Chains A and B, each alone.
Chain A
């Protein structure tokens, strides 16, 4: 009631008024809390017989205004309205309150009416605003996403939560003879591929470039020279189209891809992202506002370890699929390879961090020792034992991250998700632990532009301010 009084003064509801609101069957209230203290609340009214919903009230305590609480409260009300099958949502706001009006406007509400002397005794007019939820699905923003952080040139196009196009050109073959991604070769390939990838994406989406409402681009983490190609391209495109630009974190975008498959991201979720460039564990409470990096690799990425071990075993690049294939005939328990950063002493500093460099060396030593003693090694056994060590560490840490943070969901991302053993072990251990496992389609797991567009679209739809044009790139993880 304190917040009510402070927020609304003369317009405040009485205690009994408030009580009847809260118990009424057609109303739903959401509350924002910090510790034990209520810092804001909002309510929605939706009669079962009607397809319209009304925002009854929204209030945030003085000391917490301007911190996005109001937006979060509104978003949860709107989500609830959608779930209840509302087609539109109405609200009234005092004409002399520009800040809430701007918030509602950014969420898609449009002023449709004005009521004189609505708020008494102050005699202030009410602006009636309406949000068309159906319009929101049909005319959701079209966002074009550009991804060039490693060796895939990706351009994706989404409309709101819907995937329209996902075109990828990979320079993988050009890196094969070097046994790993060569940054300069990757960057050159991006520049060459841009035009054709863009043209194909527009064609697949069946739109004209003028239909694009916003441009999103990966600006890190990744290879700096490669990222700059995408950033330069995206900025020029945004200026040419006179449309806003959004810089997007590559790792968070890997998680945002789930929205394209399921319409929304269930949160909180832990995300395990494993590729040739990254091995990261994220805790995602809110895809836009609250992503925590729990841990990452301290040396090689898991995919890199696969490539290097493949080389030691005389297998082709990229190493992941080759080792996966060889391992099928091998015994995963044949050789006991080390599990990096998994000892009790590591749990303090490196609980969710990964290390694959020692494992890679252990495999190399094993092979060299056999060589020097004139023994032949069993490639399938080494491959299977190595793969088991990698997968074991990845899944153990991911499952622990879920359990220890009381998060019942795990989503996988990154190219190493193609590894059959990783999928098997993750599925088995998640089931055991009561964790819901999500593995997006493989075309959305590897680096791609659609994931960038998807995260960009979330930013557009929730009214996140676009970037200025002067942002740069970053190569290492930054949140």
Chain B
């Protein structure tokens, strides 16, 4: 039986891909970082159509679990969960920064970053790949100011190459397949927010002087 992956990532823009037996058959993306809810349905539908499939033929769904700005990230994960429920497909979580690292050779330590807004970046440090090209992390994803991250690495004497690029759903799908064939545990299907919600405890305040 064919293994048909629908891959979704909304950690930056909205990116969707369909892979048949490990080959990318269709890709659709919109780099707008604010229109995930608008774009997600159309992009999924158009990828499935481009690949000449019907939705019921999808056997697996791979989704980027971030890190990424919350509101958009959630749209992709919510869509992946519901698509998997609707098409009775298996669901796999993939780190969004890992999918970027998957595209690199990683011969040297590489700092992969993405925009976290509020003048900060999401980042993770990778070096080398497994036989199936699964990137190995030297440091798990975190969020901080880019200058701070880089000066920390420098003061530790850690060399690195800096990479910032869009996440591609095709890479999410390919990495999910590589992880499966290698028996690497998938990421849990939970948004990797890396930040607590902005909320302050309410205190009764005086309204009169």
Which residues of chain A have a CB within 8 Å of any CB of chain B? Answer: 177-180, 182, 184-185, 187-188, 190-192, 194-195, 198-199, 209, 224-225, 227-242, 245, 311-312, 361, 364-365, 368-369, 468-473
The answer to whether B42 and A240 have CB atoms under 8 Å apart is no
Which partner residue on chain A sits nearest B8 by CB separation? A236
B136 at the interface (CB under 8 A from A): no
A/B interface sample: 9 pairs, CB < 8 A: A188-B70, A225-B71, A227-B37, A229-B74, A232-B78, A232-B82, A240-B82, A361-B207, A368-B208
Say yes or no: A185 contacts B83, CB within 8 Å: no
What is the minimal beta-carbon distance from A466 to any residue of chain B, in angstroms?
A: 12
B41 at interface, CB cutoff 8 A: yes
Indicate which residue in B36, B198, B207 contacts A232 across the interface (CB closer than 8 Å). B36
B56 → chain A closest CB, angstroms: 7
Are the CB atoms of B208 and A236 closer together than 8 Å? no
Known: A228-B75, A233-B78. A239 touches B85 (CB 8 A): no
Whether the pair A239, B83 counts as a contact (CB closer than 8 A) is: yes
Q: A191-B191, A233-B78 are in contact. List 20 more A-B contacts (CB 8 A).
A: A178-B201, A179-B202, A180-B202, A209-B85, A229-B74, A230-B78, A232-B37, A232-B41, A232-B75, A232-B78, A233-B81, A236-B79, A239-B41, A240-B84, A240-B86, A241-B87, A245-B41, A311-B204, A368-B206, A369-B208
Interface residues on B, range: 35 or more
User: Is B58's beta carbon under 8 Å from chain A?
Assistant: yes
Cα-based distance from A364 to B200 in the complex (angstroms): 21
**Given A198-B82, A229-B78, A237-B86, A472:B37 Cβ within 8 A:** yes
Counting CB contacts under 8 A, is B174 at the interface? no
Chain B residue, CB-CB nearest to A225: B71
Q: Is the CB of B86 within 8 A of A231?
A: no
> Which applies to chain A's interface (DSSP): helix, strand, loop or mixed?
helix
Q: CB-CB < 8 A to A224: which residues of B?
A: 71
Q: Cβ of A237 and Cβ of B85 under 8 Å apart?
A: yes
Cross-interface CB contact of B82 among A233, A242, A468, cutoff 8 Å: A233
Residues of B61-117 at the interface with A, using a CB-CB cut-off of 8 Å, are 70-71, 74-88
Residues in B with CB closer than 8 Å to A180 are: 202
CA–CA, A180 to B204, complex, Å?
12
Contact B74 A178 (CB under 8 A): no
Closest to A242 in B: B55
Q: Whole-angstrom distance from the CB of A292 to the nearest CB of chain B?
A: 28
CA distance A240 to B48 in the complex (A): 10
Contact pattern, B 22-60, Cβ under 8 Å of A = 1, otherwise 0: 000000000000011111111011001000001110100
Bound CA span A390–B176, Å:
55
What chain B residues lie within 8 Å of A245 (beta carbons)?
41
From the candidates B71, B86, B193, B202, name the one contacting A236 in the complex (CB within 8 A).
Answer: B86
B71 near A234: Cβ-Cβ < 8 Å: no
A242–B78 CA distance with the chains assembled, in angstroms: 17
A472 to B40, CA, bound (A): 10
B86 neighbours in A (Cβ, 8 Å): 209, 236-237, 239-241
A472 to B72, CA, bound (A): 13
Task: Contact check, A236 vs B198: say whether CB atoms are below 8 A apart.
Answer: no
- Are A232 and B74 CB-contacts (below 8 A) given A182-B199, A469-B41? yes
Chain B nearest CB, measured from A479 CB (Å): 20
Docked CA distance A365–B35 (Å): 44
For A470, give its contact among B41, B74, B79, B81 (CB under 8 Å): B41
**Complex alpha-carbon distance, A468 and B79, angstroms:** 16
Contact of B58 among A182, A185, A240, A369 (CB under 8 A): A240
CB contact under 8 A between A473 and B37, given known A182-B197, A182-B199, A194-B78 = yes
Cα–Cα distance between A149 and B121 once the two chains are bound (Å):
30
Query: Does B190 touch A at the CB level, under 8 Å?
Result: yes
User: Which residues of A are found within 8 Å of B79, using beta-carbon distances?
Assistant: 232-233, 235-236
The answer for the CA separation of A229 and B10 in the assembled complex, in Å, is 12
Pairwise interchain contact B83-A228, C-beta atoms closer than 8 A: no
Q: Which of A179, A182, A235, A361 contacts B40 (CB 8 A)?
A: A235
Q: Which residue of chain A is the closest to B77 with respect to CB atoms?
A: A191
A237 with B82, Cβ < 8 A, contacts A187-B74, A469-B41 known: yes
CB pair A198 B85 closer than 8 Å: yes
Query: B190: which of A192, A229, A365 is its contact (CB, 8 Å)?
Result: A192
A-B pairs with the 7 shortest C-beta distances? A240-B86, A235-B41, A469-B41, A179-B202, A236-B79, A232-B75, A184-B197
Query: Given A180-B202, A312-B204, does the pair A242, B56 have CB atoms closer than 8 Å?
Result: yes
Q: Which of A239, A311, A364 has the most CB of B within 10 A?
A: A239
Q: How far is the CB of B137 from chain A (nearest CB, A)?
A: 24
A178→B199 contact, CB < 8 A: yes
Task: Give complex CA distance A238, B78 in Å.
Answer: 13
**Least Cβ–Cβ distance between A223 and chain B, in angstroms:** 10
Shortest distance in angstroms between B162's beta carbon and chain A's nearest beta carbon?
30
Measured between beta carbons, the chain A residues less than 8 angstroms from B85 are: 195, 198-199, 209, 237, 240
Q: Decide if B81 touches A241 in the complex (CB within 8 Å).
A: no
Are the C-beta atoms of A236 and B191 separated by less than 8 Å? Answer: no
Closest B residue to A209 by beta carbon equals B86
In the bound complex, residues from chain A placing their C-beta under 8 Å from that of B39 are 470
A160 → chain B, closest Cβ, in Å? Answer: 22
Given contacts A177-B201, A194-B82, A361-B207, contact A238 B41 (CB under 8 A): yes
Residues of chain B within 8 A of A364, CB atoms compared? 206-208
Q: Which residue of A lies closest to B70 (CB)?
A: A184
Q: Which of B54, B76, B202 has the most CB of A within 10 A?
A: B202
Which of B40, B41, B83, B87 lies at the interface centre, i.e. has the most chain A CB atoms within 10 A of its CB?
B41
Question: In the complex, how many angstroms separate the beta carbon of B207 from the nearest chain A beta carbon?
Answer: 4
CB within 8 Å for A229 and B75 given contacts A188-B191, A364-B207, A470-B42:
yes
B44 touches A239 (CB 8 A): yes
Closest to B79 in A: A236
Residues of A within 8 A of B48 (CB): 239
Contacting residues, chain B, for A236 (C-beta < 8 A): 40-41, 44, 78-83, 86
